[in-house]
Amino acid sequence: METRRITVLSAGLGVPSSSRLLADQLAAAAERRIAAAGYGVTVDVVELRDFAVDIANNFVTGYAAPRLADVIAGVEASDGIIAVSPVFSASYSGLFKSFIDVLDPKSLDGKAVLLGATGGTDRHQMVLEYAMRPLFSYLRTRMTATSVFAGPQDWGNTDDGGSPLSARIDRAATEFAGLLAGEQPGRRHAAARSLPFEELLAGISGGR
């Protein structure tokens, strides 16, 4: 069975965080849809606030600390990304953009992406279309047609999945699973390992 690796990026700052809550719901729905399509699924959740200092240091030193380097490598190895940011000053958060900036600009090329955002009013929902979508379009990703915004009125609903938010999440997850079917253009293959001179020499000698 083929496996799809999903990295979930949550840029929420609070504990608990509405961005993390939305990210978890998107990830759960996507996992169900991908599994229903016949694929195995692995999901890695990254709370960007836990790496804020490492991200800032990366800008100053040009060097990613080991644990940040592991996160970056995980993103690059993923087949798909679920990215959720809170809205600040009518755009995605500075932490969210800072993490995107430490990535190799080519590392997201062709990857499937599902976008989400949270904010204190529905007036912020267009951030998904005029800020986040252009950013990921520039990075040459393949995005779902549906992105998901959650405002204060979307939380605390105890129905059986029939809320407007649940419907949006399900629609976006279905589109995300569709992007992850078949050959994945965004998948990075393992780099070829350079052999030490002694191993190369041994190989040549053994072939005589």
Residue 62, helix vs strand vs coil: coil
Q: What is the pLDDT of residue 205?
A: 52
Kindly give the parts of the chain with pLDDT less than 70.
Answer: 156-162, 186-208
Report residue 135 as tokens: 């950013």
Question: What pTM was estimated for this model as a whole?
Answer: 0.86
User: What pLDDT was estimated at residue 192?
Assistant: 41
Q: Domain containing 150: what range?
A: 3-206
∠ at Cα 165 (95, 184), nearest 5°? 65
Q: At 143, is the secondary structure helix, strand, or coil?
A: strand
Place of tokens 């729905």: 29
Cis peptide before 16 (omega within 30 of 0): yes
**C-alpha–C-alpha distance, residues 208 and 206, integer Å:** 6
Q: What is the tally of structural domains in the chain? A: 1
C-beta of residue 72 within 8 angstroms of C-beta of residue 99: no
18, 139, 25: which is closest to 82 by C-alpha? Answer: 25
Over residues 37-87, the pLDDT tens digits come to 999 999 999 999 999 999 999 999 999 999 999 999 999 999 999 999 999
Dist CA 48 CA 51 (whole Å)? 5
Query: CA 38 to CA 40: how far, in whole Å?
Result: 7
Q: Which pLDDT score, from 0 to 100, does residue 73 have?
A: 96
Structural tokens at position 62: 């040009």
The pLDDT tens digits for 40-54 are 999 999 999 999 999
Give the span between the Cα atoms of 78 and 97, in whole angstroms.
Answer: 19
If phi > 0 it is left, if psi is from -120 to 50 it is alpha, else beta; for residue 90 that is: left
CATH for 86:
3.40.50.360
For 161: left if phi > 0, alpha if psi spans -120 to 50, otherwise beta; the answer is: left
Q: How far apart are CA 144 and CA 105, in angstroms?
A: 20
Quote the pLDDT of residue 203. 56
